[in-house]
Chains A and B, each alone.
Chain A
Amino acid sequence: MSLTLVGIIGIGILLFILLFLGMPVGFTMGVVGFGGICLVISYKAALGMLGTELWNTFSSYSLTMVPLFVFMGEICFYSGLNRRLFKATHTLTGHVRGGLAMATVFACAGFAAICGSNTATAATMTAVALPEMEKYKYNPALSTGAIACGSTLGVVIPPSVVLIIIGLYTGQSITKLFYGGIFAGLVLATLFMVTIVILCVIHPEWSPAGTKKSLTEKIRSLPGFIEALVLFLLVMIGLYMGIFTPTEAGAIGSLCALLMSVVRRRLSWEGFTSAITDTLQISCMVLVIIGGAVIFSRFLAVTRIPFDIADWVSGLPVPPAAILTIIFVIYIIGGALMDALALLLITIPIFFPVAMKLGYDPIWFGVMITVITTLGAVTPPVGATTYVVAGMAKNVPLGSVFKGVTYFLPAYIISVAVLMLFPEIITFLPNLIR
């Protein structure tokens, strides 16, 4: 049996176990990679690799940035920063028609700038923004759709765990990926706002205007922005100036978030311990997937399948843009079936060499697949963020939440098209970094 065939069978078994056995993604990749190396090299080699690869992954200095950035987001979450962000944006835009929905998207974008968790953002925004929108008789589909889609910005706007993992996995600069994600996230957020404006024009009764707040109230709400802005700028400027590494940025961001929360008496001891426990669980989940992906990619590398596919695809008599579009469609379908991080770790060893062979910019490609896979967080059948919103919004049926999400789907599609047509939107800032 040729190595290429073994590789293809390995990928087939991986997908079968994932879809039909429901085994956790990290375990599956580890098991299939281990089995594959047993078959291709030897049982002894596979066993030896198991212990050392797991140790090398877990003890990697680069990967320590994962728990540190997650910790920063969790501290902000438990100190109620996203609640304050929503209150601040609500105070400024609540009196405009559709203003509460826009405030929700803006608060989601702001919280995304310090926390990479979709579900944490979705849960808090549902708890905070939905009652407010219900009070003003907003259409339930519009309000829940805005929350679910706004929450997905967390993965695109830096710092984002998904961008970190793409950077580490493909050997690209994490700082450049972070900077590439800024405008991509802003394009998406802007298109969400445009969607809300259009819906307000078509259905004025869906989003009545709220009461206008006094200037004093507006000024009083400003600290809600300042905390998030300080943390975001601290991390991004520090990285841009080369003052600290991404890992150190995560540590400094965590420490600053902790100090701000403690000084302003926003974080209880229970909140602090919960932030630690959640950080440990999320980081462990991410690192197990990476550990499994490393073992699986070792197997793929032995079979040379990623390189064979890259050579084969680049030799096809089809324009590169068509091949890229097919790859993106695969990501859209895959994103609807499984978690974004898992999907990226399975597919990057196969599609990243193809994109490079076709001559695309690695930073642009990394950010693009991040934007595309976020779509899967709100679309059925997986749509984890949508389920979180529907689970918390007791008065809104799941069908209405999915209906609300569909209003925002054109925004995703247009943003992908815009970012494909004008790649400079993504590459402009990273190219400024030396």
Chain B
Amino acid sequence: MEKVIEHLDRAVIVVNRGLIAIAGFLLVAMMVLACANVFFRTVWVPVKGTFELMGFFGAIVAAFALGRTQMKKEHIAVDVLILKFPRGVRLVLSGINYLVGMIFFSLAGWQAVKYGNNLWRVNELSETLRIVYFPFVYGVALGCGVISLVLLVDLIKLINNGNEVPR
């Protein structure tokens, strides 16, 4: 079991590292694109499709950071009362949290895949650039899938070691 957890943990770290690299690149791309749009709008004409590309890139930036943000326990929680509970109660509550969070993001990811499939099937195009944008919806689904995986690994670690993942 220890070996499986170790492999899963390493896989999650590698996947998140890759996603963060892509999200970081797109964050810089968003900055450059918005500045270029202001510049060209002032001297000539706006960069076509800036608004929709910014939205698509922004979606990937947020979704691809989901897993890492969970790994670093950066999602804000109200733990004032929880810290006063006995250790056993805290462990059970952490387990419930991971399980509920995992189910929630799995459902969200599944629905995002369905939404993406639908956009693909009807060949939905963006309004200005007239490009297909279902891949970005799949990107959001991937982000949801990865955070579900991170929560699953946290849950397995909790059950196996009986240790809370420190907040």
Contact = CB atoms under 8 A, between A and B. Distances in A.
A284 B94 CA distance: 21
A59 B58 contact: yes
> Which of A51, A61, A287 has the most chain B CB atoms inside 10 A of its CB?
A51
> Could you tell me the dominant secondary structure of chain B's interface residues?
helix
A22 B79 contact: yes
A285 B144 contact: no
B32 A25 contact: no
Interface in B70-101: 72, 74-82, 93-94, 96-97, 100-101
B76 to A, nearest CB: 5
Contact of B62 (A50, A247, A273, A287): A287
Interface in A61-89: 61, 63-64, 67-68, 71
A259 to B, nearest CB: 10
A22 B164 CA distance: 13
B97 A21 contact: yes
A331 interface: no
Contacts of A30: 104, 108
Contacts of A288: 62, 66, 69, 75
Contacts, number: 185
A64 B55 contact: yes
A10 to B, nearest CB: 16
Interface residues of B, number: 59
A245 to B, nearest CB: 9
Contacts of B79: 22
Contact of A254 (B31, B56, B59, B112): B31
A288 B66 CA distance: 8
Interface string A270-312: 0001001101111111011100000000000000000000000
Interface in B17-41: 20, 23-24, 27-28, 30-35, 37-38
Interface in A201-224: none
Given A23-B100, A25-B77, A61-B58, A281 B137 contact: no
Interface residues of A, number: 59
A282 B59 contact: no
B7 interface: no
A71 B74 contact: no
A72 to B, nearest CB: 9
A32 to B, nearest CB: 10
A116 to B, nearest CB: 15
Contacts of B120: none
Nearest to A252: B35
Contacts of B96: 21
Contacts of B75: 24-27, 285, 288
The 8 closest A-B pairs by CB, nearest first: A51-B111, A251-B34, A24-B75, A284-B65, A22-B82, A59-B59, A64-B58, A280-B65
19 contacts: A19-B78, A19-B80, A19-B81, A22-B81, A22-B94, A24-B97, A27-B75, A27-B104, A47-B107, A51-B115, A58-B58, A58-B63, A59-B140, A61-B58, A248-B37, A251-B38, A252-B35, A282-B74, A284-B66
Interface of A: 18-27, 30-31, 34, 47-48, 50-52, 54-55, 58-61, 63-64, 67-68, 71, 243-244, 247-248, 250-252, 254-255, 258, 273, 276-277, 279-285, 287-289, 337-339, 341-342, 381-382
